[in-house]
Amino acid sequence: MKGWNRSRSELPEVLIMEILLRLPVKSLTRFNCICRSWWCCFQTSNFISEHHHINLKNNRLNLLCNRGVGKPGNVIPYVTQLSTEQDDFLSAKHDIHLTCFKDSGYPPDVLGPCNGLLCFYTYGERNKTALWNPSTREFKTLPPSSIQPPPSPGYIDVDSVGFGLDSNTGDYKVIQFVKLVTLDFDDDYPGFESAVELYSLKTDSWKEIPFTCAFLDGYNLCNSYVNGICYWYARYTGPPPEYKPFIFSFDMAGEKLSTFPFPEFGGPLDYYCFQLLEFNGSLGITIYPCQGPEKSFDLWVMNGECTWTKHLFIESIPGVERPLGFWKNGDLFLETSDHQLVLFDHHTGELKRLGINTFLCSMRVVAYAESLVPINGTSEHKEYITRQPYE
């Protein structure tokens, strides 16, 4: 143990960096004040990238459950952190209140993770979007949409949102599909126009991008961002047979919109629900019945040729509502019919209740690795986020 008595200057610099790369963000934050060279090193893109890569490689993941509690139109948004420690596995550690969304009426949805960053947003006319690094506790609210609403009483309505990284420039971007609603009291039906705008973290601004494909019912789940591309389940707006599903995508680097075929799963669309997710580095989609006391789940995975393969079938599970995402070893997080969070072990068929409930259809589970990625925001403040022990 004589090595412990050596001064820091006696250790090789390469060894020091290897040690620092394996430390949690909380420790690195404390070490910022030890010496200026360390502080400068922690800000470099190489250190940030390698630190996050090591966390992913070692499968050191943190779990957050995005949820809401209350009544429709008056829901308090929470993020509950779950323990991943072996002795206290998946127990709730503490609640994080998203106070900046408290007036939204409904809990925000969450996108990501993308290199440890999360994006929270609300739909509709009162849309609000924010970025958050839960490791560094840095938070940033995005500026309002740059798209001008039609003349009053018209308004703009955000339909779908995507979040990811432009690997060419290292810029984090948010894309949102905006519906311009025109109200005419002499007409029973409002008029609609669609627009798309893209936010750049580097410029902290929005820009409108060309968009010609009208679609209806764009859906995404927390992990529908895979390898630089955002995906949505969507349907064309035309009458049958055009009223059919497809996969809609946006390449963050090329800023290109594309469409892909939907899996030929052989069932009637009106009887099934669909959710996108990331599965082992590929785009996956779960297909399951919308109704019934028992649910079975098919997992389809898209390969490089944009074709689908049925990868997994989970037979009927009683008392569950919908999937929330995969955990290690292929275990699946589910929301039960009474809106409880459970973990399904597909090897044993066991359902483990985690003692966490939520408001209807507001629950999301996000697994992320710690990251030092900066977002040019501010430290957590009670105006945006407050933390307290789990209730």
In a domain, 390, yes or no: yes
In a domain, 185, yes or no: yes
pLDDT tens across 105-118, in order? Answer: 777 888 989 999 99
Closest C-alpha among 370, 280, 372, 327 to residue 55: 370
Give the per-residue pLDDT at 327.
85
- Based on the fold, state whether residues 153 and 16 are members of the same structural domain: no
Q: Looking at the predicted structure, is the pLDDT value of residue 263 above 60?
A: yes
Higher pLDDT, 286 or 76: 286
Higher pLDDT, 45 or 67: 45
Give 171-204 as a DSSP string. Answer: EEEEEEEEEEEE--TTSSS-EEEEEEEEEETTTT
pLDDT tens across 60-71, in order? Answer: 899 998 888 777
What percent of the chain clears pLDDT 70, i.e. is strictly above it?
87
Higher pLDDT, 104 or 186: 104
Helix, strand and coil content of the chain, in percent to the nearest 5, comes to 15, 45, 40
Cα end-to-end span (Å), the chain: 44
Average pLDDT over residues 119-148: 88
In a domain, 255, yes or no: yes
In a domain, 14, yes or no: yes
Higher pLDDT, 24 or 224: 24
Q: Looking at the predicted structure, is the pLDDT value of residue 197 above 90?
A: yes
- Among 8-12, 150-154, 276-280, 343-347, name the one with the lowest average pLDDT: 8-12
Which of the listed ranges 35-49, 228-242, 347-361 does the model predict with the highest average pLDDT? 35-49
* Residue range(s) defining the domain that contains residue 159: 108-262+369-391
Give the per-residue pLDDT at 24.
93
Confidence band of 1 (pLDDT split at 50, 70, 90): very low
Residue 362 is given by DSSP the state: -
* Count of domains for the chain: 2
- Based on the fold, state whether residues 37 and 122 are members of the same structural domain: no
Give the per-residue pLDDT at 369.
94
- Based on the fold, state whether residues 31 and 140 are members of the same structural domain: no
Give the per-residue pLDDT at 360.
63
If you average pLDDT over every residue of the chain, what do you get? 83
Residue 211 is given by DSSP the state: -
Higher pLDDT, 193 or 2: 193
Q: Which residues contact 167 (CB under 8 A, 6 or more apart)?
A: 228, 252, 253
In a domain, 8, yes or no: yes
Residue 261 is given by DSSP the state: P
- Based on the fold, state whether residues 228 and 377 are members of the same structural domain: yes
- Based on the fold, state whether residues 12 and 114 are members of the same structural domain: no
Give the per-residue pLDDT at 45.
92
- Based on the fold, state whether residues 247 and 374 are members of the same structural domain: yes
- Based on the fold, state whether residues 130 and 30 are members of the same structural domain: no
Higher pLDDT, 85 or 51: 51
- Based on the fold, state whether residues 38 and 131 are members of the same structural domain: no
- Based on the fold, state whether residues 217 and 132 are members of the same structural domain: yes
Give the per-residue pLDDT at 361.
67
- Based on the fold, state whether residues 112 and 252 are members of the same structural domain: yes
Cross-strand pairs, 76: 69
Give the per-residue pLDDT at 326.
83
Give the per-residue pLDDT at 50.
95
In a domain, 235, yes or no: yes
In a domain, 174, yes or no: yes
Give the per-residue pLDDT at 214.
56
- Based on the fold, state whether residues 141 and 227 are members of the same structural domain: yes
In a domain, 310, yes or no: no
Distance CA 373, CA 33 (A): 19
- Based on the fold, state whether residues 22 and 153 are members of the same structural domain: no
pTM for the whole structure: 0.88
